[in-house]
Amino acid sequence: MKGELIGAGATVVASSNHTLINASGVVVDETKHFLTLETAQGRKRIPKRGSTFRFLVNGKEHTINGADIEVSPEERIKLKE
């Protein structure tokens, strides 16, 4: 996934931290290792490694292993799809 994630809807569908599963909200920040979601319970920082996310981008759902996007946002545009 090469596009911008900030502003996308996201749900954690699997995680090594079971308390994060089903956390959902809007991506408000991204670093190389974390996504920050604005949820109904406030902001949650979710590690990319060990998590699988479902993103809603342009009306389409994409399920992505967090390790596959564990690069800085500016470097992700250089990745092959």
Virtual CA dihedral for 47, 2, 28, 30, nearest 10 degrees?
40
H or E element that contains 36: strand 34-39
29-63: per-residue pLDDT in tens? 999 999 999 999 999 999 999 999 999 888 889 99
Whether the Cβ atoms of residue 8 and residue 26 lie closer than 8 Å to each other: yes
pLDDT for 75 equals 78
Domain ranges of the chain: 19-76
Is the domain spanning 19-76 CATH 2.30.30.210? The answer is yes
9-15: strand order across its sheet: 42-47, 34-39, 24-30, 9-15, 51-57, 60-65
pLDDT for 44 equals 96
pLDDT for 64 equals 94
Model's pTM, two decimal places? 0.87
